[in-house]
Chains A and B, each alone.
Chain A
Amino acid sequence: MMDVGRHPKIKLYSYSEIDNVSGYVGNFNVRIRKKARYVDENECTACDECAKVCPITVPNAFQMGLSLRKAIYMPFPQAVPSSYILDMEHCLGNNPIACGKCYDACDKKCIDYDMQDEIVDVKVGAVIVATGMDVYDPTRLDDYGYTRFENVITSMEFERLICSEGPTGGHFIRPTDHKTPKTIGFIQCVGSRTQDPERGNPYCSNICCMNTVKDSLLLKDHYPDVEVKVFYMDIRAFGKGFEDLFMRSKEKGVMYIRGIPGEIEEDPQTKNLRLMVENTTTRQIEEHELDMVVLSVGVIPRRDNEVVKKLFSLSTTSDGFLMESHPKLKPVDAPTGGVFFAGCAEFPKDVKDSVTQASAAAARAGVLLSAGKIKIEAITAVVDEEACKLCGICARVCPFNAIIFDKKSKTPAKVIEAACKGCGTCSAECPFDAITMQHFTDRQMYAQIEAILSDKPMDKIVTFACNWCSYAGADLAGLSRLQFPHNARIIRTMCSGRVKDKFVLHAFKHGAPVVLVSGCHFADCHYIDANRWTQKRVWKLWDKLEKLGIRPERLQLEWVSAAEGKKWAEVMNAVEEIRKTVTKEEVEHTIKVIREAEKPKKPKAKKEPAAATT
């Protein structure tokens, strides 16, 4: 931590947030809001004189609320920057009648009640997202009585109680009588590995088993006579040196009991805790009386993940952690170019794995930064200036504001190549076919559709799949060897937003019984919200099909993420069932009505202008 503070190449913005990000790989413009801390962090010497005179006390969040701090405070003794901060929410203010004591006590006069937020703009080539995790809150698990029974604590509170810098100076005491407990129980997997959403999350939080093994050893080191019981379903000691540590804990006499207790009861007199558990090794129901219970709580995604997701167009897996580019081959790359992950933002991990991933992320970012330049794939939009009728729809639908169009100037729309990501929404929405997507041209799409339907069209399901989610979901189905009917023929687009209504009609016109359009889930779209346009377009198409007397269900729309191979297989089965219901007559009728609808309408007979007749 100290190294960060003094490194000449690191500019630390603490107590700061990111307001806005624009740009793209290699060239991100980042706006940082340095929030007012009301203490000049460069001048503050952390002498503590201000806190000594501060009359306000509030629970200390760093100590998990187990002790108090002042309204002006140091977050913790080793904090970097080593500076106090004024908590304006609780401060009485500088009005001499109200307070203003700290200002008087500060020798260096580094307290400024009028300090304002500061805005800093920086330009960066690469971004590492290391936003971390939150800890599961077990309050809602009523049967464990957390917050109802004072002697039930979480593993995070345990850390503070056993720490020499903690509220008790490292004396491990139980909250009700401040005595050192003689028997302590740990309950594992609290908030983890459950299929019941009321009781937590389905995944394993990775760190809690070894954290408890460590805690049990700390207790045995400090208090050799203390009885420690660990209630668990599996002990996952899979890492280097982990099994040794687990064995050491057992050798020290820590009892490991396989079974998760159902309910904790408190003795109202002694405040001791009683719990019943089915020991699944001995198949006995056991009752244990304990002085204290530690809930080994799991890791959850940060509650404010949405912010960073939005800033960098990231997506999350079903468990809420940030999704990597490829689970095996690109585990630290975000799907957004130039963005990398480190630590628990991506998935729960311990200190060693966090450090490992941090180095990997730094190296991946280094690959980009050291090259000094980057090639942008030539899949961007190009406007045909002659065909452009100045309607401006393209500029309106572009999720990246990459199209410049000004109605007043009466010049055709212009694409900023470096900002265009190639989703193709503009091209799909252009009513005049005036926008070509390089490498994903209309002509290429039509050629694929025609090729697929040139032979036995009744057997085929023309499927459009976006590169990032649904195509990748189909890949995952393959990787997982899921088996499903063989009728789908996939056409890859970068985004489902590329799928023009004419592509769908072209497929029907060439005898497709069923067409499937598939894209990312809304929150996951790699082009911000381009798939909203896909949805609107499909809605319109459904109306159109209905009007033409074509069953709308022959056009299917599905959202499949890169992690949903199973869903892809289910969709394949479902669309195949629909295909089976389509008759040859129906397809022939479809071809006929679409051809008729495409015929140019006869121009209405215009009246000759009166002037011309004379």
Chain B
Amino acid sequence: MTEQHSASDDLRIGVFVCECGLNIAGSVECGEVAEFAATLPDVVFSCVNRYTCSDPGQQEIKRNIVEHKLNRVVVASCTPRMHEPTFRNCVAEAGLNPYLFEMANIREHCSWVHLYDRKAATEKAKDIVKASVARARHLSAQQEIELQVSRNALVIGGGVAGINAALDLADTGYQVYLVEKEASIGGIMAQLDKTYPTMDCSI
């Protein structure tokens, strides 16, 4: 291992366990998970929220970042594919680098797929949180690079969809390149006599 340990003595991790209404609490003992989280190394705060992604839930994260001087945040809730951006913004608003946030997926990968075994689901949720906290201990702040965006657009295909997309973009003021494979735009729509539900001509 060539990397240096970023885990150090002054780590202060906060764990927020989401009930997601009954989506998680229905099959996972969230209180137990939060209590367990508190026993993990460097965790200085843990709690249960009804809906962590809601405004009150996010406020609680921000408040506790300040109150407990948290420098790592773990939210145990849904898939990061859904709310990772939400929580990254949330911790950033509280002054924490967004890359010091970590998510534990105890909904899609746990409560929903083990609906009828509360004990096993709770144990698995604890494990998932444990792994996330372990990862969080080694997170470090990252700076995102910012790139300029070219203000032109390419539309591939000059059928009804491509034509409309090109017109909308061009009317907004962007330069549009519309590429059509055939000798004329129009696509399949141009071959139709009338179109439903208006029964008028297609072109």
Q: A17 within 8 Å of B by Cβ? A: yes
Interface string of A346-389 (1 = CB under 8 A from B): 00001110110111011101101111111111110000100100
A484 contacts across to B, CB distance below 8 A: 113
Give the nearest-CB partner of A387 in chain B. Answer: B2
Q: Which of B137, B179, B182, B193 has the most CB of A within 10 A?
A: B179
A129 contacts across to B, CB distance below 8 A: 156-157
B11 contacts across to A, CB distance below 8 A: none
CB-contact partner of A16 in B105, B131, B175, B180, under 8 A:
B180
Known A-B contacts A16-B181, A342-B162; the reply to A442 vs B154 at CB < 8 A is no
Q: Which of B130, B131, B153 has the most CB of A within 10 A?
A: B153
Task: Compute how far the CA of A490 lies from the CA of B110 in the bound complex, rounded to whole angstroms.
Answer: 10
Whether B172 pairs with A486 at a CB distance below 8 angstroms is no
Task: Compute how far the CA of A341 lies from the CA of B150 in the bound complex, rounded to whole angstroms.
Answer: 19
Stretch with Cβ within 8 A of B (4 or more), from A103-111, A156-164, A257-265, A550-558: A156-164
Whether B107 pairs with A478 at a CB distance below 8 angstroms is yes
Whether A359 pairs with B168 at a CB distance below 8 angstroms is yes
Whether A18 pairs with B179 at a CB distance below 8 angstroms is yes
Whether A374 pairs with B149 at a CB distance below 8 angstroms is yes
Whether A448 pairs with B131 at a CB distance below 8 angstroms is yes
Q: A532 within 8 Å of B by Cβ? A: no
Give the nearest-CB partner of A123 in chain B. Answer: B150
B181 contacts across to A, CB distance below 8 A: 15-17
B186 contacts across to A, CB distance below 8 A: 1, 76, 78-80
A-B contact count (CB 8 A): 368
Whether B196 pairs with A242 at a CB distance below 8 angstroms is yes
Whether A9 pairs with B159 at a CB distance below 8 angstroms is no
Total A residues in contact with B, Cβ cutoff 8 Å? 136
Q: A446 within 8 Å of B by Cβ? A: yes
Q: Which of B82, B156, B166 has the most CB of A within 10 A?
A: B156
Task: Compute how far the CA of A241 lies from the CA of B196 in the bound complex, rounded to whole angstroms.
Answer: 9
Task: Compute how far the CA of A111 lies from the CA of B28 in the bound complex, rounded to whole angstroms.
Answer: 75
Give the nearest-CB partner of B41 in chain A. Answer: A451
Give the nearest-CB partner of A479 in chain B. Answer: B108
Whether B167 pairs with A4 at a CB distance below 8 angstroms is yes
Stretch with Cβ within 8 A of A (4 or more), from B44-52, B53-61, B62-70, B114-122: B114-122
Q: B76 within 8 Å of A by Cβ? A: no
Q: A602 within 8 Å of B by Cβ? A: no
Q: B8 within 8 Å of A by Cβ? A: no
Stretch with Cβ within 8 A of B (4 or more), from A177-185, A188-196, A392-400, A430-438: A430-438
Which residues 76-106 of B have a CB within 8 angstroms of A? 79-82, 99, 105
* Secondary structure of the B contact surface, majority rule: mixed
Whether A4 pairs with B145 at a CB distance below 8 angstroms is no
Whole-angstrom distance from the CB of B104 to the nearest CB of chain A? 10
Whether A9 pairs with B160 at a CB distance below 8 angstroms is no
Whether A131 pairs with B191 at a CB distance below 8 angstroms is no
Which residues 116-167 of B have a CB within 8 angstroms of A? 116-117, 120-121, 123-124, 127-128, 130-135, 137-139, 142-167
Whether A490 pairs with B153 at a CB distance below 8 angstroms is no
Known A-B contacts A76-B190, A239-B197; the reply to A444 vs B161 at CB < 8 A is no
A241 contacts across to B, CB distance below 8 A: 197
Known A-B contacts A78-B190, A378-B144; the reply to A240 vs B197 at CB < 8 A is yes
Whether A483 pairs with B113 at a CB distance below 8 angstroms is yes
Task: Compute how far the CA of A363 lies from the CA of B168 in the bound complex, rounded to whole angstroms.
Answer: 8
B99 contacts across to A, CB distance below 8 A: 378, 439
Task: Compute how far the CA of A14 lies from the CA of B163 in the bound complex, rounded to whole angstroms.
Answer: 12
Q: A489 within 8 Å of B by Cβ? A: yes
Known A-B contacts A14-B185, A132-B159; the reply to A366 vs B113 at CB < 8 A is no
Known A-B contacts A76-B190, A240-B197, A358-B164; the reply to A377 vs B128 at CB < 8 A is no
B7 contacts across to A, CB distance below 8 A: 447
A210 contacts across to B, CB distance below 8 A: 196-197
Q: B22 within 8 Å of A by Cβ? A: no
Contacts A/B (CB < 8 Å), 17 sampled: A1-B185, A14-B182, A128-B155, A130-B156, A214-B194, A351-B160, A355-B164, A362-B168, A363-B168, A375-B145, A384-B2, A448-B132, A451-B135, A454-B130, A474-B108, A479-B112, A569-B113
Extra 14 A-B pairs, beta carbons < 8 Å, given A25-B149, A355-B161: A1-B203, A9-B174, A12-B185, A15-B183, A130-B162, A211-B196, A218-B194, A358-B161, A361-B161, A362-B165, A373-B149, A439-B142, A489-B131, A490-B109
The 9 A-B pairs of least Cβ separation, nearest first, read A343-B161, A478-B108, A130-B162, A79-B184, A378-B142, A362-B168, A451-B134, A26-B149, A358-B164
